[in-house]
Amino acid sequence: MRTAPIFAAALLAACGSAPDTTMTEEPITYPETRRDTTAGDTLHGTFVPDPYRWLENDTSAETADWVKRQNAVTDAYLAKIPFRQAIADRYEELFNYPKVGAPRKVGDLFFLYKNSGLQNQSVIYMRKGIDGEDEVFIDPNAIDPDGTTSIDLMSSSMDDRYIAVNVQKAGSDWQEIEIWDLSTMTKLDDKLEWVKFSGTAWYKDGFFYSRYPTPAKGTELSAASQWQKVYYHKVGDPQEKDVLVYENTTNPNLYMGLGVTEGEEY
């Protein structure tokens, strides 16, 4: 069978009827970026320049202006793409379907994540027993209508009364750990800050977790993640009373991970 010419003719016909998706290539004029010739470090007697170090100051007016001008260039370029909306529509079509995560059992309760289709964050549901009705436990979209706050369940206490909840805002690695009392379905006043890359390991009346020193004001998003330490938090206590369990005083770049055996011996 000689089908290649027929297929080629059909393809050419389809191309001829498709909308024009070509773009006129134009040179991009980028905003001027200041070079600081004095910025840098002297390493082993050699000066290593870092002319754009000033951009690390994410709270300065100069950095904010630089970002604004860069975004203007990017937005203007993307706005000229003739098929941009078609791509967005297709992605929306592909992603707009109900999604359900695997259930997680905590005592007699089951927790699962659900997304109706295009919700910014999945909603955490809870049901009592395997045949119970699903009820909203935590809805991140209701807490933050902008949709930039993610909320995830962490580990639960050995008796399944308490569960730790991880809250992250605006895409930051910083975590806030909250605690829920599942016997009353209430959130406690406990809030642990300056936590990053940490889980919770329950032991008796609280849990172990890892945190960093409180960053200087204005450096929360730019300070290096160094000197992580392990603390123990007792449920109901303010974070200031947490007990320092372990720290490494020689290597600032170590991550501290920990766990507790099921019998709580180790």
Domain coordinates in residue numbering, the chain:
97-146, 148-266
Mean local confidence (pLDDT), 222-238: 96
pLDDT at 96: 98
Please state, in angstroms and rounded to a whole number, the distance separating the CA atoms of residues 51 and 40.
Answer: 7
pLDDT at 218: 85
Mean pLDDT of the chain: 92
pLDDT at 23: 66
Residue-wise pLDDT for 203-220, tens only, equals 999 999 999 999 998 889
Residue-wise pLDDT for 15-55, tens only, equals 444 555 666 678 899 999 999 999 999 999 999 999 999 99
pLDDT at 10: 40
Counting residues of the chain whose pLDDT is more than 70, the rounded percentage is 91
Count other Cβ atoms within 10 Å, centred on residue 215. 15
Task: Say whether pLDDT at 178 is over 50.
Answer: yes
pLDDT at 21: 60
Please state, in angstroms and rounded to a whole number, the distance separating the CA atoms of residues 112 and 124.
Answer: 6
pLDDT at 12: 38
DSSP 8-class letter at 173: S
| 224 contacts: CB under 8 Å, gap ≥ 6 | 252
Task: Say whether pLDDT at 6 is over 50.
Answer: no
> Are 149 and 166 within 8 A, CB to CB?
no
> Are 259 and 95 within 8 A, CB to CB?
no
pLDDT at 19: 53
Task: Say whether pLDDT at 172 is over 70.
Answer: yes
pTM check: above 0.85: no
Residue 167's identity, in one-letter code, is V
Mean local confidence (pLDDT), 238-252: 97
Q: Which residue has the higher pLDDT, 24 or 258?
A: 258
The pLDDT confidence band at residue 223, using thresholds 50, 70 and 90, is: confident
Count other Cβ atoms within 10 Å, centred on residue 56. 12
Please state, in angstroms and rounded to a whole number, the distance separating the CA atoms of residues 31 and 70.
Answer: 7
